[in-house]
Amino acid sequence: MRSWTVGGALLLGPEGVLLVRNRRRNGSLDWSPPGGVIDEGESLIEGLTREVEEETGLHVTRWEGPAYEIEATASGLGWTLRVEAHVALDYEGELRLDDPDGIVIDARFVAPDACGLHLDGTHPWVREPFTEWLLERWAGSRSYGYRIEGVDARSLDVTRL
């Protein structure tokens, strides 16, 4: 089983919340909050700050959280995923695309009531916690768990625990 730790950014601006559009290895496209895999030797906040800056050009100078954590297991696909989503309290810079990994192909601030349209095709373990946080903006942290069954990424059976 491969295991990843991912940092997710909850970044609010005057026009809404920041979302990035990702081109996946199989060519599919989806929207998500910015963030990514934390490299070995990095703290979660160091890696999250790096990922946000690489993907969007914005440098977050102060974080709060985690607002939520996700544990997802996909035994049939051979992976586990741990996500911590943190709220960006302060940031600087201009929004620009220059993702060195070539995954992020768009980034924009989206009005909260329009996020559902962007996240419609996104995996439930990304969409559900983010959408719930966006609606409630709770203090403290919440935990989410998902069991993902199947071996074809196009037809997975996802159960929220």
CATH number corresponding to 2-160: 3.90.79.10
Q: What is the pLDDT along the chain (161 residues), one digit of tens a residue?
A: 999 999 999 999 999 999 999 998 888 899 999 999 999 999 999 999 999 999 999 999 999 999 999 999 999 999 999 999 999 999 999 999 988 888 999 999 999 999 999 999 899 999 999 999 999 999 999 999 999 999 987 789 999 99
Q: Tell me what pLDDT residue 136 has.
A: 96
Q: Tell me what pLDDT residue 104 has.
A: 95
Domain residue extents for the chain: 2-160
Q: What is the DSSP string of the chain?
A: -EEEEEEEEE-EETTEEEEEEEE-TTS-EEEE-SEEEPPTT--HHHHHHHHHHHHHS-EEEEEEEEEEEEEEEEGGGTEEEEEEEEEEEEEES------TTS-EEEEEEE-GGGHHHHTTTS-HHHHHHHHHHHHH--SS-EEEEEEEE-S-TTS-EEEE-
- Cα 19 from chain centre: 9
Q: What is the pTM of this model?
A: 0.95
Q: Tell me what pLDDT residue 24 has.
A: 86
Q: Is the dihedral of CA 100, 43, 81, 30 positive or negative?
A: negative
Q: Tell me what pLDDT residue 27 has.
A: 81
